[in-house]
Amino acid sequence: MKVYGHPLSGNAHRVLNLLSILGVKHESIVVSLPEGEHKQPAFLAMNPLGQVPVLVDGDVTLRDSTAILTYLARKHDTTNRWLPTDAVGNAQVQEWLSTAVNEIMAGPFVVRAIKLFGSPADLEEAKAKTDALFTTLFEPHLTGRDWLVGDHATLADIACYSYIARVTDGDYSLDAYPKIKAWLSRVEALDGFAAMVVGADFFASLKAE
Ligand SMILES: N[C@@H](CCC(=O)N[C@@H](CS)C(=O)NCC(=O)O)C(=O)O
């Protein structure tokens, strides 16, 4: 099984983190995004959208992080713990997978991308979307519960974790959100958890090479 990604990609991190937690052997391949490798024909043949992550598992090729998470859970989690099979549990996880690729990408992802990559977006607008997301959804939802769905970790937590944890790369403090911070720590304490590199550390490591 091969995962095409990049160390600074939270979308790729979700996938690598789940593989590590499930203990699934895989090869992690770094796609050179700065050199535009993801827009070259070889990569576009795997994902016409030219985005990481992509999973290649034998003759199965999948794009989109949350689709890949559901594939891996169905294939490798025989307990159905990470993606419940009952109608309500499954839909509740899907709610958060959708939040991960919509509101989290519009808020925390953009705040971080402006700082790390100089993305041409409005910082104040992205911060306001992040504030709203945390204040209206995550902090209240995580008050009185440990996990986003049910009483144990699911794909919902894995999908939402990466860009919320690393929003601090965008000089956005999580100090106003104690419930979110406690939840991030619970995710980080999961057996097999794989950390996502801090943006500044990644760029420092490049300079040191
Ligand atoms: N919906 C996709 C989004 C993937 C995505 O935006 N990947 C970024 C890296 S985090 C990318 O490859 N960007 C390059 C580009 O869009 O040109 C997913 O969940 O995997």
> Which residue's CA is the closest to the ligand 1 atom numbered 10?
9
Number of residues written out for the chain:
209
Distance CA 143, CA 73 (A): 27
Contact predicate 167/130, CB 8 Å: yes
- Run of H or E including 109: helix 108-117
The answer as to CATH 3.40.1190.20 being correct for domain 87-188 is no
Would you state the structure tokens that stand for residue 152, as one six-digit string?
Answer: 């144990």
CA distance 198 to 152: 26
133 neighbors 107 (Cβ within 8 angstroms)? yes
What's domain 2-79's architecture? Answer: 3-Layer(aba) Sandwich (3.40)
Residue 192 in tokens: 């097999």
The protein residue with its alpha carbon nearest to ligand 1, atom 3, reads 64
Model confidence pLDDT, tens digit, residues 9-42? 999 999 999 999 999 999 999 999 999 999 999 9
Mutation choice for ligand 1 from 6, 51, 98, 160, CB with most ligand atoms inside 8 A: 51
Q: Judge if the beta carbon of residue 5 lies within 6 A of ligand 1.
A: no
Rg (CA), the chain: 17
Pocket test for ligand 1, best of 11, 29, 71, 161 (most atoms within 8 A of CB): 11
Is any atom of ligand 1 closer than 6 Å to the C-beta of 38?
Answer: yes
Task: Check pocket membership of 64 for ligand 1, CB cut-off 6 A.
Answer: yes
Q: What are the residues facing 60 on neighbouring strands?
A: 57
**In the chain, what are the domain boundaries?**
2-79, 87-188
Q: What is the mean pLDDT of the chain?
A: 98
pLDDT tens string, the chain, 209 residues long: the values are 999 999 999 999 999 999 999 999 999 999 999 999 999 999 999 999 999 999 999 999 999 999 999 999 999 999 999 999 999 999 999 999 999 999 999 999 999 999 999 999 999 999 999 999 999 999 999 999 999 999 999 999 999 999 999 999 999 999 999 999 999 999 999 999 999 999 999 999 998 98
Cβ–ligand 1 distance for 17 under 6 Å, the answer: no
